[in-house]
Structure 1
Amino acid sequence: MHAIRLHAFGPAENLTYEQAPSPHPAPGQVRIAVAAAGVHLLDTAIREGVKGPLPELPALPTIPGREVAGTVESLGEGVAALWLGRRVVAHLGFAPGGYAELAVTDVDRLHEIPANLDFAQAVAMIGTGRTAMGILQFADLTPDSVAVVPAAAGGIGTLLVQYAKHAGATVIGLAGGPDKAALVEKNGADLAVDYRDPGWPDRVRRFLGDRRATVVFDGVGGDAAREAVALLARPGGRHLVFGWSAAGLRDGAPYLVDGVSESVLGPAMMRRSGGPDPIRTLELRALTEAAEGRLVPAVHRFPLAEAATAHHALETRATTGKVVLEP
């Protein structure tokens, strides 16, 4: 099979498209003919040799990627025959192997793809979508809410804007550049602004008049977050923090304000989800929202062979929506 392999940690150019041994499903596993593989910001950190939240870095050489969608084409021992030939999507967890024509995973990780979703959209919902569902648990959105979404043209931001509008909230979307701001407006935001324009906070204040923001969905950190938090109502405004892409995953930190900011990733998200398998619960919610048309993921597609280009584009914020590789 063809795959993207990483032989040494470092820049995006270290990702090489080459022949690799085909994986074989172990008992309780399936092999998927991959039609779409998700690219995450965490993948770029791992590529550079920064493990982030992973327990340890993968042994080299490795095939990166932890989100795949495709068709089940081989079954391991003990797997029901009904899975063969099904369109499925799965998050591989901490196991790499997604940037390839073939990937294996435990059958318990599989979700059948709803008929109205293509493979790339399904990949977007299994990773980015489940994170959005987890974040939204903390928001308590109503028609009285005023939500500010930094990075509103990104994969998570696109879904947060859509969900907030579906809840009847007023939505302010921030994006880097006029083209991205136009996409955010098309996605349903009541006001879309270019956060590279130093006057954007005043534009938001003029738009809101006597109203104040009630929630800021922040996966960015840095200056944009600082300005967005200044728009919050006090008391009562909430700053929900789920990342800090402005500084990257390597040495950055989110912008936090005592009594206003709340981290919603990791254990907090899992506790709020509840149930015996909170991650799977969030995945099912995300796929259901997409299947029923309330959420439509934005996808930025690259050929599998151009994984290095995709990484570079993601790191330089030249992408919109979820980045997906297609063999």
Structure 2
Amino acid sequence: MGGSVARTLLDSAALTWTETVLIEAAATGVGAALTQLVARRGAHRVLAAAGGPAKAERARKLDADEVIDHNDPEWPARLRETLGAISVDVVFDSIGGETADVMTPLRGRMLGYGFLSGAPAQLSAMDLITRGLTFVGCAGPQWLARVAAERAATLESAVAGELEALVESVLPLTQASEAHRLLEDRVPLGKIILRPDT
């Protein structure tokens, strides 16, 4: 599922592959699939936001050029420092909340597909209008239909080695409560598979 969402996000972003990209929550789930696909297809610069040292290391292994820890409350400022005079052309936003004002005027675009912070990205219509930015909401029935249509191509990407399935662990079905606890604590770096007892 994560790979199908990532492929649909990439299609919606219309990347030119000469652009600077920011991927939030870049070490797990959809973010990990995005990081792999964007880095391996050759974006100009891939910036990743990941929560904590283990996830930051995972984002680096997935070929992100630079990684910022989004658990740091000052991460938007750290991102600005990392960028220097450069701006971000495309933001894949799954965190929401306060966003760094780093998008490229007139062509910067943000694709919002989640809000791990508890609130959508804090962008107003005035932010978009005065700087010529684009916000694309990625949700709803039509969006999900596009994601479903990408499933076969996603499997082909995995077979071709472009997209690695990241599995954290395989647990017996009797440990479903433990799997839920791990997910709620946001510990895993990959999928948790529940195996029925035989």
User: Where in structure 2 are the equivalents of 1:148-227 lying within 5 Å?
Assistant: 148-169=22-43, 170-223=45-98, 226-227=99-100
The residue type paired with residue 147 of structure 1 is: V
Whole-angstrom CA distance in 2 between matches of 1:309 and 1:262: 36
Return the alpha-carbon distance in structure 1 between the equivalents of residues 8 and 2 of structure 2.
10
- Is 1:234 the counterpart of 2:102 in the alignment? no
Q: TM-score, normalised by structure 1?
A: 0.53
Q: How many residues align?
A: 186
Structure 1 CA distance, aligned partners of 2:105 and 2:10?
21
Residue equivalent to 2:178: 309
| Residue segments in structure 2 that go unaligned for 5+ positions in a row | 129-133
Q: Matches of 2:88 and 2:142 in 1, distance apart? A: 23
Distance 1:212 1:236 in 2: 11
1:264 paired to 2:138 = yes
The aligned residue for residue 5 of structure 2 is 131
The residue aligned with 1:295 is: 163
Structure holding more helix per residue: 2
Following superposition, the deviation at residue 290 of structure 1 comes to 0.7
8 Å Cα contact 2:97/2:115 also seen in 1: yes
Q: Is the aligned partner of 1:255 residue 2:145?
A: no
Give distance in 2, aligned partners of 1:317 and 1:159.
17
Q: Read off the aligned partner of 2:121 and give its amino acid letter.
A: Y
After TM superposition, the runs of 4+ consecutive aligned structure 1 residues lying more than 4 A away are none
What amino acid does structure 2 have at the position aligned with 1:182?
E
Inter-partner Cα distance in structure 1 for 2:140 and 2:34: 18
Give the distance between the partners of 1:163 and 1:182, measured in 2 at CA: 17
Q: Which amino acid aligns with 1:188?
A: D
Mapping 1:13-32, distance limit 5 Å: none
Aligned CA-pair RMSD: 2.0
Structure 1 distance, partners of 2:24, 2:186, is 13
Is the contact made by 2:97 and 2:122 (CA closer than 8 Å) also made in structure 1? no
Q: Is the 8 A contact 2:3 2:34 kept in 1?
A: no
Q: 1:131-163 deviations in whole A, cap 9, x for unaligned?
A: 222222111223321111111111111110011
Structure-2 separation of matches of 1:198 and 1:268: 35
Q: Extract unaligned runs of 5+ from structure 1.
A: 1-126, 248-252
CA contact (8 A) 1:142 1:167 kept: no
* Equivalent in the alignment of 1:285: 153
- Higher percent of residues as strand: 1
Preserved CA contact (<8 Å) 1:156 1:321: no
Q: Offset at 1:208?
A: 2.7
- Note if contact 1:135-1:265 (Cα within 8 Å) is conserved in structure 2: no
Go from structure 1 to structure 2 and tell me whether the alpha carbon gap of 1:242 and 1:288 turns closer, same or farther (over 3 Å shift).
Answer: same
Q: Which has the larger radius of gyration?
A: 1
Residues 1:326 and 2:195 are matched in the alignment: yes
Identity of aligned residues (%): 34
Is the 1:142–1:168 Cα contact (8 Å) retained in structure 2?
A: no
Q: Distance in 2 between matches of 1:151 and 1:159?
A: 11
Q: Where do 1:80-159 residues align within 5 Å?
A: 127-159=1-33
Three-state SS of the structure 2 residue aligned to 1:325 is strand
Q: Secondary structure at the match of 1:319?
A: coil
Deviation at 1:166, TM superposition (A): 2.1
| Pairs within 5 Å for 1:43-62 | none
Who is 1:243 aligned against?
114
* Per-residue deviation, residues 258-312 of structure 1 (Å, max 9, x unmatched): 33321122344357x4xxxx72x31011111111111112122241221111112
